[in-house]
Structure 1
C-alpha cells in the first residue's frame, strides 16, 4: 500500500477530482482529511471511504479564511500526528465575456483559486516543517499556461498557482518539502457540468456537442479520466517522485506540450 500510515489533506474533497483522489488515497492505506465548503458532498465522500474501513476526518471549511485553514491543520495534527501530503484541489470556474466580468466574479475566483492555495500552502509548510517534510500538490490548469477567451479570472488565477508553486518549492526544498502543480486539460467534472452551457455559447455549439468537440482537439482523442489525475497525484505524493519539485506538469492528452 503506497501511502500506508500517511496523512493526506485534500481541499475540494466533496466532489469531482478531490473526492475521487481521496478514495484512491484511502485505498492505498492513507489517513485522509477531507475539506470542502460543500457539507453534503463531504458527507458523501466520507460515507464512501468509511464503507471500505478507511480512516477519515472531515471538516466543512472556507479555504479563503486563514483562521479556518489553520484550525483544521491543528485538528489534523492532533488527530493523526502529521501532515505528509497536502492537495490543494478546491477551485471554481466561470466562463463569461471579459467586459461582463464583474469585480465580484474576479475577486471570488482569485480568492478561491489562488488565495485558497496560498493559505493551504502556508498551513501545510508550517506543520510539515515540524515533522521533517512532505509533499504539496496544487491544482493549476492548462489554462494557467495557455489562455482562453472569456476565461480571464480563471486563467489569471491558475497562472498564479504556478508562480506560487515554484516560489514555495524553491524556498522550502532545503526543508524536504516538495511542491508541484498539476495542469489538467479537460476532465468531465461537476464543474464542467455547471459551465457547459456557457462554453457552448462561446463556441456556437449545442451543449451536447462540447465534449465531442474537445475530443477532436486533443491528440489522444479523449478527455482525461479521474484515475489518470489520481495516478499523477499519487506519484507526486509518494517517494517515487522524491527528486521532483517546482514543476507544473501537463496532463492534457497532448493538447499542451510546453
Structure 2
C-alpha cells in the first residue's frame, strides 16, 4: 500500500475559504502536493503565494473551478492529470450557505437550486470526475464536508439543511461503491466554525438586533457546550485524519466536529 502521509497528490475545493485555506496548509505541512480549487483563480493564487512564504518548495496547482459546473470539473480533471496523473486524496470543502432564511412556502426556486447546485451536485460532479484518478488499493480516499445542520432540519433553512444531509447520504452511497477498490469515502460535519463567514453572520445579526458584535457572539457561543466556535484548524485536522492511515478502517462515516451542539 502506498504511504498515506507525505508526498501525496491532493485536490481541495473551496481552497480560498476559511476552512479550505487551512486545509491546504495542513496537507502541505505534511509534505503533500496540492491542487487548490475555488471560484476565483486570483484568490487561490493568493493562497498559494502566501503558503509558499512558509513552504517555499511546496508543489501547488491553483485552479479556477466552479463545482456546480460539469464542464469546469472536467477541465480541472484534465489539469490535474497533466500535473500529477493520479490523485491520492480528494477533499471537497467548497460550499455555500443559504443567502436568507425563508419558509418552504416562500423560498425561491433559484435559491434552492443555487444552494443544492454547489453543496450537493458539486460533490456529485467532483466525485464523478475525480474519483477515477484515485488508484485502487493505494490508500486513496475522498473526504467531503457536510454540516451539523445536515444531521437535523432547521426551520427556514431547508435548502441548506437538505443539501448537507444529502452529502452525508451521498458519502455512504459512494463508500459502498468504492469499498471493493480499497478507496475510502468519509465526511466531516462541522458545527459553528470561527471563519470570516461566521463573523460576518454574527455582525449582520448584531446590527439587526441593535446590539454589539461582542454581545451577539456571547449569545451564540453560549449555545455551544464548549462555549466557543471552533477554529478552522479543527476541521482541517479532521479532514487530514480521515485521509490518513490513522483512519484506514473508516469508510462511509461522518465525523462530527461541532463543540457538542449535537450528539449522534
The TM-score with structure 2 as length reference comes to 0.90
CA deviations on 1:169-213 (whole Å, 9 max, x unpaired) are: 0111111111111110000223324433565589x5746133322
Show the 5 A alignment for 1:52-201: 52-53=55-56, 54-94=58-98, 95-98=100-103, 99-129=105-135, 132=138, 134-196=140-202, 199=205
Bigger drift between 245-254 and 41-50 goes to 41-50
5+ residue gaps, structure 2, are none
Aligned partner of 2:19 in structure 1 is 17
CA distance in 1, matches of 2:132, 2:6: 23
Matched, 1:223 2:225: no
SS at match of 2:120: helix
CA deviations on 1:102-129 (whole Å, 9 max, x unpaired) are: 1111110000000001111112321114
CA distance in 1, matches of 2:25, 2:13: 13
Bigger drift between 38-47 and 127-136 goes to 127-136
SS at match of 1:121: helix
* Aligned-residue offset at 1:133: 5.5
* Aligned-residue offset at 1:27: 1.1
Match of 1:32 among 31, 34, 38: 34
The TM-score with structure 1 as length reference comes to 0.92
CA deviations on 1:77-134 (whole Å, 9 max, x unpaired) are: 2212321100111111123222442111111000000000111111232111468461
Aligned length: 257
SS at match of 1:195: helix
Show the 5 A alignment for 1:34-49: 34-49=36-51
5+ residue gaps, structure 1, are none
* Aligned-residue offset at 1:149: 2.4
CA distance in 2, matches of 1:85, 1:79: 15
SS at match of 1:217: coil
Residues 75/255 of structure 1: CA separation in 2 closer, same or farther (3 Å cut): same
* Aligned-residue offset at 1:68: 1.7
* Aligned-residue offset at 1:150: 2.3
